[in-house]
Amino acid sequence: MAVKELNIRNKRARFEYHLEEEFTAGMVLSGTEIKSIRNGKASILEAYGIFYNNEVWIRNMHVTEYENGSFYNHKPRADRKILLNRKEIVRIEKFLKIKGNTLIPTKLFFSEKGWVKIHIACAVGKKLHDKRNDLKEKDDRREMDRALKR
């Protein structure tokens, strides 16, 4: 029972971080990983990106073990390599060298060809007062929408 439309999102990303720049990239996955993702059994909520050995990796992304995988199964929280152009890797490397900056995945989806792709964003963590402002703006928009409906 494979999912035709993959909708795995990191909903907390926009609340927790200021998203600076976004990239779309491929991922190196094994056979059982792709089968689990096609079944919709993956999570990117706690995942983040790292720069290691001139490559970009996603760490702490959870992909549930494939139920029919036997001994060929993968590790659920293994590091996964992100496939980017050299220019994009250099930009991400420069961004991550600054203290307080991070790389977070925002969405996991299928391309038109059926490949699993990931949106990753260069992000800076928000302070508590920034989060309060976001909640206040959200409440204000909700109140305006209610007033317009009446």
Q: Give a three-class secondary structure readout of 23-35.
A: EEEEECCCHHHHH
73 phi, psi to nearest 5 deg: -65, 160
Confidence of residue 1 (pLDDT cuts 50, 70, 90): very low
What average pLDDT does range 64-91 have in this prediction? 85
- Give the residue among 9, 13, 11 at the shortest CA–CA distance from 126: 13
Structural contact between residues 30 and 123, judged by C-beta atoms closer than 8 angstroms: no
What average pLDDT does range 70-86 have in this prediction? 85
Largest pairwise CA distance in the chain: 60
- The domains of the chain, with CATH numbers, are 8-149 (2.40.280.10)
* Integer-rounded Cα radius of gyration of the chain: 18
Mean pLDDT value across the chain:
87
What was the pLDDT predicted at 3? 52
Question: What pTM does this model have?
Answer: 0.79
